[in-house]
Amino acid sequence: MKSGNNILLAAELLKAGKVVAIPTETVYGLAANAFDAEAVINIFEIKNRPKFNPLIVHIQSWKMLERITQEIHPILKKIAENFWPGPLTILFPKSDAIHPVITAGSTNVAVRMPNHILTKSLLDQLDFPLAAPSANLFGKISPTTAAHVLEQLGDQIEYVLDGGECSIGVESTIIKMNMYEKVEILRLGGITGEEIALITGYLPKIINETEKPEAPGMLASHYAPNKPMLLGNITQLVERYSNKKLAVIAFATTIDHPSIISSYILSEKQDLHEAAHNLFSLMHKAENSGADLIIAELLPEIGIGRAINDRLKRAAF
Ligand code: TXA
Ligand code: MG
């Protein structure tokens, strides 16, 4: 049995320095003891992840936040108090408790308090935080079910703590405070800029991707399905590629065409949260559908729609 809801077993494996997949409200994580550098190195190896790409540290208590950071800016503290536990990751200056392998040499550590009942109970049983990236192979689609994790990593890990479908469905938003004490978004995700603005009083700037991105989740090609994916007007793209077997991922309505072998709707009622919840799951289905090409459309650029569009653009080429 490779997956189940045995929190005690997951805790025992983690205490023994093993890597365990855990559910969160965003996506599944591939977790290890953040105070055990050797256990953490295993995460990079299993995921085939470059060592320059740092990991998020998952905590459960404010006491643990103090232990792993050097200082907590009052504005970041206020933001954390508002959105934790939840889909928000915050960069803080790290303390010596955090090994540089986790932060890829950076003096900042990315921290998040996840909001999933099983993972909260798991963290309650541990006296260490959990370093965890998303539980997919590097550059591939993030997992939102235990089955997705087993499909990509089943041979390499001993246990997946199965917490059902991830409720949010896209990764956490990552923020940091810049040198002018302004909050910036490094990765769009489950908490929107508009929501953060309610605390900061201004809309945080979204930092553009650079050659050497600060959050490599911002690398242009990321979250990619195994099949090529094109974005644009669905009707036009289907006509243009009608000589191929097509899978279509549409927001709320789709079209009929003999070339379409599978068709997926993100949210019939045009609800952006429902669309986020379904996004990676439908991308997994589309890549396994036998289609040669996946065609999708962008969603309205508001709220969590921005994070969805960000993932679609990175998945497309
Ligand atoms: O929702 C999430 O954030 C999920 C769940 C499992 O918590 N985790 C996740 O981890 O998406 P991952 O490793 O797939 O993406 C984490 C992103 C990466 O782009 C990484 O570069 C960035 O966070 N990151 C981590 N630590 C950082 C640091 N110290 N400085 C800058 N970026 C950091
Ligand atoms: Mg990831």
Average pLDDT over residues 87-115: 98
Using 50, 70 and 90 to split pLDDT, how confident is the model at 210? very low
At 158-167, the pLDDT tens digits run 999 999 999 9
- Distance, CA 112 to ligand 2 centroid (Å)? 14
pLDDT above 70: percentage of residues in the chain? 95
Sheet holding 260-265, edge to edge: 229-231, 293-296, 246-250, 260-265
Is residue 53 within 6 Å of ligand 1 at its C-beta? Answer: yes
Mean pLDDT (the chain, rounded): 95
- Distance, CA 55 to ligand 2 centroid (Å)? 9
What is the spatial distance between Cα 193 and Cα 204, in angstroms, rounded to a whole number? 6
For atom 31 of ligand 1, the residue with the nearest CA is: 215
At 29-80, the pLDDT tens digits run 999 999 999 999 999 999 999 999 999 999 999 999 999 999 999 999 999 9
208 burial (CB, 10 Å; 0-12 / 13-18 / 19+) is exposed
- Which residue, 48, 52, 49, 93, is CA-closest to 212? 52
Which numbered atom of ligand 1 lies nearest the CA of 134?
14
At 246-259, the pLDDT tens digits run 999 999 998 999 99
User: What is the length of the chain?
Assistant: 317
What is the spatial distance between Cα 288 and Cα 82, in angstroms, rounded to a whole number? 39
Is residue 109 within 6 Å of ligand 1 at its C-beta? Answer: yes
What is the spatial distance between Cα 20 and Cα 135, in angstroms, rounded to a whole number? 9
- Distance, CA 254 to ligand 2 centroid (Å)? 29
- Whether 222 shows a pLDDT value over 50: the answer reads yes
- Whether 180 shows a pLDDT value over 50: the answer reads yes
- Distance, CA 300 to ligand 2 centroid (Å)? 23
* pTM assigned to the model: 0.95
- Whether 4 shows a pLDDT value over 60: the answer reads yes
- Whether 211 shows a pLDDT value over 50: the answer reads no
